[in-house]
Amino acid sequence: MWKDRQSIRTKEGHKYEKELKKLRDKRDRTDDLLIQGAFDKETYKRKSDEIRGEISVTKMDISDSKTETDDIEGCVLYCKHFLLNLADLWAASDHNLKQRFQTLIFPDLWKA
């Protein structure tokens, strides 16, 4: 399941990277149109601000797709560590934490 989600996030990341390249190309074409005199300064500023906003959103999407992949990997590594060291963690836990842990594992035993 983790590998499937990571694959999806990687594909999304590639999609966002392509979109970012298109937006940068669009920005460059807009700059060229200003230089050629096709845009007045007001139209250029409006269009440029719009493109910059789209670029910012796309960069956030790229960052989010990378962050979630990293978060999943971190969770898997933590769970692996937790399971491999379960006995030591149990022995080192206080009474309250042990009760919470038992409730998590055996919820039906603690229903009143």
The reported pLDDT for the residue numbered 111 is 65
The reported pLDDT for the residue numbered 101 is 78
The reported pLDDT for the residue numbered 64 is 78
Give this prediction's pTM.
0.59
Residue pair 58/16 in contact by the 8 Å Cβ criterion: yes
Burial code (b: 16+ CB inside 10 Å, e: under 16) for 39-72 equals beeeebeebbeebeebbeebeebbeebeeebeeb
Report the pLDDT averaged over residues 24-45.
Answer: 91
Q: What is the mean pLDDT of the chain?
A: 84
